[in-house]
Amino acid sequence: MTQPVDAATLDRLRAAAQQDPRSPAAHRRLGQALRRLGLDQQAAEAEMAAIRATAFDPAMVAIAQALLANDLPAAEQGLRARLSQQPLDVAAIRMMAELAGRLGRFPDAENLLRRALELAPGFTAARGNLATVLYKQKRFAEAAEVLDAVLAADPANPANQNLKAAALSHTGDYHEALALYAELLESFPDHAKLWMSRAHILKTVGRQDEAVAAYRRALAIEPGLGEVWWSLANLKTVRFEDADVAVMERALEDDSLGHEDRFHLHFALGKALEERREAEASFRHYAKGNALRSEELAYDPAETTALVDATIAGFTADFAASLAGHGCPAPDPVFILGLPRAGSTLIEQILASHSQVEGTMELPDIPAMAMREADKAGAKWRHWPDALRAVDPARMAELGAEFLDRTRVQRKTDKPFYIDKLPNNWAYAGFIAAILPNAKIIDARRHPLDCCFSNFKQHFARGQGFSYSLDHIGRYYADYVRAMDHYDAVLPGRVLRVVHEELLHDPEGQVRRLLDYVGVPFEPECLEFHRNTRAVRTASSEQVRRPINRDGVGQWQPYAEWLGPLFAVLGDLPETYHRRS
């Protein structure tokens, strides 16, 4: 039971802290006493004094040096010893959270930081660390909320302003994010990556000329910044001049150029030389960029094959039939899935031009929930169908309601339908069908050679590890088709397939078919989708701001002589991809 604090006790604690100002324990005891008396401001000062005092502790200095040297085992050993003796040492708790974060144990880091803030609510640096940990867990709205408190206490901190702008860009609060970047650039006008970040958002909201100008400003400051060159290439509407090509080639000759800048430059040069119809040189750069990226990611195509095998074995026709009457009945979500670069952004833009349908972005929630359920069942992530079979049917409705709750932050209107356009959801289409039986599922499918080669040319900011090898992407496409064939068999009529080439050939007919499936009346605005000013985050952002065209059809053909590994794994799919059911 906590003892009351009288005036004499408080005087003794103050005196002890004054006599030994480098004693964390003395300041900590004073802070605890002040908290009990409700003197929160004075308590916060004492708590921060305790944290500052640890800088004079040799053991804590040694731990800090180990972290600085990235000697994580030594740092962990020291922190465990410290916390076993002083479990209320807030500075040590924060360091342990940093260690957990470096090891990718973000939930552990979050719990530690929350404990640190419970002990020292005024520890603004720890609150900033908590925002970072939430951001890394893709909990962007929570990160932004925590940053509000951090910036209220430390409004001029540029790192926290930058993090908040990044978080807001993920929650769809683009205009607030742009305002933050503008403010930062007033203070740091020669910061190339701030110009790049601002340009990314300008591109997303359709202010292309301003985006290009911001990218160019970044390159004027740092000409070798590969991500900016790739970002310009990724607009798909910017044509590089000879001078641009020369700058990129010179940058690649610099032996000190970083790995990330190097592969970005290879992808950008591949695009520049493709525009010049120099297919061999273009392919050489695409291949180098892909090889560098593939080294980093170490994608294993056997894992995707095993996922599809587990889906076919676990999500049987009998199990699909047993789902009737279960799940959350809300019809709100519309899922557009398939491969990247298959026309899903075009479908999204068409639907989001309807008065009853809201476009959001690629939401990570379905894979996260499916993998979590597998983990709870003690199964590998790819065995989510087995985990789903084992749960009480009533749990399906809870999971569907959870998805609606998790994604509510992405909804900015009261339209009855909203879109989740994460392509990778094809691997979890059965999970969607089980937890949201009235949700719509649209399979965006494109000719495999155009689709696969388009992925090979594309550098993705996150994920899509399969796309950096012709063999891997061909196998991925084949596994995706195999999975969707299975869903067609066990969930007949549940998924609407939209073939990209058919949409290009007969836009109105396919648009009417889409709207009928979603259950909304035809609106001519859906055929004028390119006039929609909504934000678009994907690589196709500028392409869907143009009327339907056939520019992307047959782009693989000039490269045919180098696509042997892709032809080998696709088999007859180039002839049958659109007829499979």
What domains, with CATH codes, occur in the chain? 7-56 (no CATH), 301-550 (3.40.50.300)
What is the separation, in whole angstroms, between the first and last Cα of the chain? 69
Q: Is the pLDDT of residue 23 over 70?
A: no
DSSP string, 172-222: T-HHHHHHHHHHHHHH-TT-HHHHHHHHHHHHHTT-HHHHHHHHHHHHHH-
Nearest to 539 by CA among 463, 432, 427: 463
Query: What token pair was written down for 173?
Result: 């609060």
Cα(46)–Cα(392) distance, rounded to whole angstroms?
51
Residues 409-438 pLDDT 10s: 889 899 999 999 999 999 999 999 999 999
Query: What is residue 477's predicted lDDT score, i.e. its pLDDT?
Result: 98
Say what angle helices 140-153 and 124-136 make with each other, to 10 degrees.
Answer: 160
How is residue 327 annotated by DSSP? S
Query: What is residue 201's predicted lDDT score, i.e. its pLDDT?
Result: 93
Burial profile 303-338: b = 16 or more Cβ within 10 angstroms, e = fewer: ebbebbebbbebbeeebbeebeebbbebebbbbbbb
Burial profile 89-122: b = 16 or more Cβ within 10 angstroms, e = fewer: bbbbbbbbbbbbbeeeebebbbebbbbbbebbbb
Phi, psi angle pair for 136, to nearest 5°: -70, -20
Query: What token pair was written down for 500?
Result: 């990209």
Q: What is the mean pLDDT of residues 71-100?
A: 90
How is residue 143 annotated by DSSP? H
Q: Is the pLDDT of residue 331 over 90?
A: yes
Query: What is residue 552's predicted lDDT score, i.e. its pLDDT?
Result: 76
Confidence of residue 121 (pLDDT cuts 50, 70, 90): confident
DSSP string, 449-516: HHHHHHHHTPPPSS--GGGGSHHHHHHHHHHHHHHHHHHHHHSTTSEEEEEHHHHHH-HHHHHHHHHH
Task: Give the three-state DSSP class for 232.
Answer: helix
Neighbours of 10 (CB within 10 A): 17
Neighbours of 146 (CB within 10 A): 26
Query: What is residue 581's predicted lDDT score, i.e. its pLDDT?
Result: 43
Higher pLDDT, 157 or 441: 441
H or E stretch including 308?
Answer: helix 301-314
Q: What is the mean pLDDT of residues 37-56?
A: 68
Query: What is residue 119's predicted lDDT score, i.e. its pLDDT?
Result: 85
CA angle 76, 78, 79 (to 5 degrees): 65
Residues 510-563 pLDDT 10s: 999 999 999 999 999 999 988 766 565 555 445 555 677 777 789 999 999 999
CA atoms lying within 13 Å on the CB side of residue 336? 32
Nearest to 271 by CA among 420, 107, 454: 454
Query: What is residue 379's predicted lDDT score, i.e. its pLDDT?
Result: 75
The alpha carbon of 397 is separated from its chain's Cα centroid by a whole number of angstroms, namely 26
Residues 339-379 pLDDT 10s: 999 999 999 999 999 999 999 989 999 999 999 998 888 87
Whole-prediction pTM? 0.79
Q: Is the pLDDT of residue 47 over 60?
A: yes
